Structure 1
Amino acid sequence: MTIPNLEIRCSSLSEIMVMPPKDKIIAEGAKTHLFELFKQHRFKYTKEIHSKEMAKGTLCESEAIRNSGLVRGRVYEKCALPRQHKVICEMDGVQAILSGECDIHDPAESLIIDTKCSWDVDSFPICTMEAEKKAKKSGYDWQMHGYMLLYNADFGCVDYWLLETPEALFSDWQREHDVELITKHTDFVRQIPISERVCHVPIQRDESKLGEIVARMRDALQFWLLLHQTQFQAA
């Protein structure tokens, strides 16, 4: 039996970062994530997740990246480096690999930036305190530390942007009959100064958190090996 390497994306790193109970290898949430990865390896498929928020993030990514440079007096483009990979640990010839690709890498400032496009004004954080709460709830703090580990950066920042929603994301009926909704997502947003449509969550590199990442990935790899060995015996 050949056991595949365990690859954890920075975007899902928070799934394995909960401290496990003393008598368990990993926490229940981490188990659920590894079960899903195991299923994808077993049946050779990739889970597709779609939402209107994700669609807006994809369509507005270039604008968000450009604006993140504008408010800093810099010119930014999407990071051109290929997806980064780093072997965190190895057991029995199987590696635990951390991977990811950030939106913006500014090596001159030792800075990583990831942009998040809010769906509308209701979901946009109005202050740093709210933005920090949203970032932590979504696991972006761990995602940024993962990026800082991959790119050897000292600083990270999550930029929450309030941008106009492309009308293509609304139905024909909404565009024709719900003028108030379309206006809320376009004209209303457009009249807000660009400097007021961003909320930053700065995150400084914390070596203790990087150590936690290594520890949790080691635990995840241990469970990954056990999962494959148990499955093989059951078959």
Structure 2
Amino acid sequence: MLPKFKFRASSIGKIMSDAQSIDPALMDEKTAAISRKTKKTDEDKALLAPLKEKSLSVGAKTYCEQIAKEFVYGFEEEVTSKYMEKGLIVEDQSIALYNEVFFTSHVKNVDRRENEWVTGECDIFTGRKIIDIKSAWSLATFPATAATAYDADYEWQVRTYMWLWEADVAEVAHCLVNTPDELIGYEQAELHFVDHIEPTLRVTRVQFTRDMALEAKMRRKVESATAYVNKMVEQIIADHQG
């Protein structure tokens, strides 16, 4: 029996982009005929909309194909970078900065939750709100406004956490703290040592409110992605049988 895949909150954004067209495998003769119409009625569009939403984009399929390959061959590719390494090393400092700025006493969450579709471990849960901490690489990459801080993948990540923790609101908090010496290399030191900057200027937040319709969309996308992963697992196995 093929496994039931649960998508991680940190990667859910990879399958959430809209497909350019409806997957032919999802259509019957009636819907296929409607999709070929040059002019579609509102009723036609309403009939096709759920199929379009269930369809996976090219990028989503590529990601699912990688998951299938990792399952069949029994490995998991670890993606690392100096940016990710800093995030892990300074996470406690970033949480401390957040607490200093907003007069809170939050601590790192260590609880991982899952449901039938997704799994995740948020950074902070206050009892009502999800807070996801992102540590900027440098002053040059730090987003100074909420508009520049917005990232669709981060939104889907915290929406997954809201779903898992039944939280009403969430925020992505971009924090700017010193970079460890060993990671800076030959970059400008003044872009990495930032303690002299006012703390309130070193946290930029992007706020989100829970949306049940978007959670339903995530469920549909995960179901489509899971089916595609299983299909690709079967394809890989079939292609290597004598």
TM range (shorter): 0.7 to 0.9
Quote the residue 2:66 is aligned against.
36
Shift of the 46–232 alpha-carbon distance from structure 1 to 2, 3 Å rule, reads closer
How far, CA to CA, are the matches of 1:52 and 1:230 in structure 2? 36
Normalised to the residue count of structure 2, the TM-score between the two structures is 0.81
Aligned residues: 209
- Name the residue aligned to 1:185: 192
User: Take 1:120 and 1:55, find their aligned partners in 2: how far apart are those partners?
Assistant: 13
SS of 1:112 mapped into structure 2 = strand
AA partner of residue 100 (structure 1): G
Q: Following superposition of structure 1 onto structure 2, how do residues 2-17 of structure 1 map, counting pairs within 5 Å?
A: 2-17=1-16
Unmatched tracts of structure 2, length 5 or more: 25-54
The aligned counterpart of 1:87 is 116
Q: What secondary structure sits across from 2:79 in the alignment?
A: coil
Moved over 6 A (4+): none
CA distance in structure 1 between the partners assigned to 2:110 and 2:236 by the alignment: 40
1:200-225 Cα distance to aligned partner (Å, 9 max, x none):
00111111111110110111122123
Is 2:103 the counterpart of 1:104?
Answer: no
Supply the distance in 1 between the matched residues of 2:23 and 2:211 (Cα, whole angstroms): 28
Aligned position for 2:33: none
SS of the equivalent of 1:116 reads strand
2:228 matches 1:223: yes
Q: Which runs of 5+ in 1 are unaligned?
A: 89-97
SS at match of 2:102: coil
Measured against aligned partners, the alpha-carbon deviations of 1:176-218 in whole angstroms (never above 9, x if no partner) come to xx7xx223311xx121110111100011111111111011011
Greater CA deviation, 62-71 or 159-168?
Answer: 62-71
The residue number in structure 1 matching 2:31 is: none
**Correspondence list, 1:115-154, <5 A:** 115-132=133-150, 135-136=151-152, 139-154=153-168
Question: Which residue is equivalent to 1:45?
Answer: 75
Question: 1:218 aligns to what SS in structure 2?
Answer: helix
Give RMSD over aligned pairs. Answer: 1.6
SS at match of 1:228: helix
Counterpart CA distance in 1 for 2:192 and 2:114 is 38
The residue type paired with residue 147 of structure 2 is: M
Letter in 1 for 2:67: L
Report the residue type matching 1:105 in the other structure: F
Separation in 2 of the partners of 1:119 and 1:10? 22
Q: Is 1:214 the counterpart of 2:228 in the alignment?
A: no
Work out which of the two has the higher radius of gyration on C-alpha atoms and give 1 or 2.
2
Of all paired residues, the percent bearing the same amino acid is: 28
Q: Aligned partners of 1:8, 1:204: CA distance in 2, in Å?
A: 21
Matched, 1:56 2:76: no
Q: Pick one of 85, 95, 98 that aligns with 1:68.
A: 98
Residue 91 of structure 1 is matched in structure 2 by none
Deviation (angstroms), 1:63: 0.9
Contact 1:65 1:103 in 2 (8 A): no
Q: Which amino acid aligns with 2:197?
A: I
Matched, 1:114 2:137: no
